[in-house]
Structure 1
């Protein structure tokens, strides 16, 4: 694993600042514009990020108190929260985005060493130590800052985060059916093998483009029979 707990705390703060700064001052017109995710406006995306902060706050509460507090009551509740958030006025949605991020940051700052080692369960049903919470948040704020489609690119994200993101995606995508690929970041020398069907496609390019490709986002890579990947997150 090429990331530390300290790394993820820093990336969570960096990504949160980048996302909040990008959306700062938006009115209805900007919020109603399409995001980088098909079928979602920026309102949908911001509602998702705000709801995610509240959901991860539930895991912080679980770690702090020992009281079992799932991220979401159900997948249906998660979807309903996003849809309801997408109908909020711009000012109300912006306030939720900011206040939810502040509540999560305060909760994280309040955990002690024993609480950080407490086990919690993610929305996907994985049992993990609470130290994974900042990583889960890092992925959301960093990747979705790009998905706001307002000028932030994968190249603007920390290189260490991009490497850790690629590691994470390959580990999870490797268990799914799909075409095989070998990916090389030409600027860092990092290499990933994506298991799959058929002769592996050779994919080379800058780290930012490799991470964007793995995340199913727009990129500038080219290669033999470059397989398309669905959106990650």
Structure 2
């Protein structure tokens, strides 16, 4: 069984953030407005989503630090509005929002105490989890969506240990048995389970995850 610790998740979140922001930095207004790999979303939608996610996870870090219950979003409607509004902003504003929000989240996570990391918080999906899950939630977002930008990064660019943890996580959330997971290279299996383009032949189609 794949295991992951807090230090692993923090490292992967930092890796994915650098991968994602490095690609976003190369996008001009036209290329930022082009479609992403996710159906119905431009790259602007994707960047707005990841930036808003950093702000939202920052709310959970605040909860863990202070004990003040602070949900990720006031409502799922707010989440959708943030994305749509953000997608209408100029590319340079989106880049600034993404980098600033990511830096703020990283700083706040590294400032959490041992006790703070054990505080229980509630995710946007209503799951009660210890704050130690926050970096993992962020790592998934930045790593997978770095691929979704469609600017050249693939699942093969992600750390092997992260891919193993991702596969275990998605398999559990999709309720799949080990026998339901096709054999193949780790990056392709992760892409398949995440509902992204992959090279596995005769694999049953799965809808997008995350």
Shorter-normalised TM range: over 0.9
1:215 corresponds in structure 2 to 194
Matches within 5 A, 1:112-123: 112-123=113-124
1:170 corresponds in structure 2 to 171
Equivalent-residue separation in structure 2 for 1:227 and 1:90 (angstroms):
37
Structure whose residues are more often strand by fraction: 1
User: TM-score, structure 1 length as denominator?
Assistant: 0.87
Q: What stretches of structure 1 of length at least 5 have no aligned partner?
A: 175-179, 183-191, 195-201
Residue pair 1:12, 1:137 contacting (<8 A) in 2 also: yes
Moved over 2 A (4+): none
User: TM-score, structure 2 length as denominator?
Assistant: 0.97
Equivalent-residue separation in structure 2 for 1:143 and 1:25 (angstroms):
18
Offset of 1:106 from its aligned partner? 0.9
Q: What stretches of structure 2 of length at least 5 have no aligned partner?
A: none
Q: Give 1 or 2 for the bigger CA radius of gyration.
A: 1
The structure 2 residue matched to 1:230, chosen from 198, 207, 210, is: 207
Q: Deviations over 1:127-152 (max 9, x none)?
A: 00000000000000000000000000
Greater relative contact order (CA < 8 Å, ≥ 6 in sequence): 2
Equivalent-residue separation in structure 1 for 2:54 and 2:179 (angstroms):
32
Offset of 1:43 from its aligned partner? 0.1
Structure whose residues are more often helix by fraction: 2
Residue pair 1:44, 1:86 contacting (<8 A) in 2 also: yes
Aligned length: 209
Equivalent-residue separation in structure 1 for 2:85 and 2:25 (angstroms):
21
2:21 corresponds in structure 1 to 20
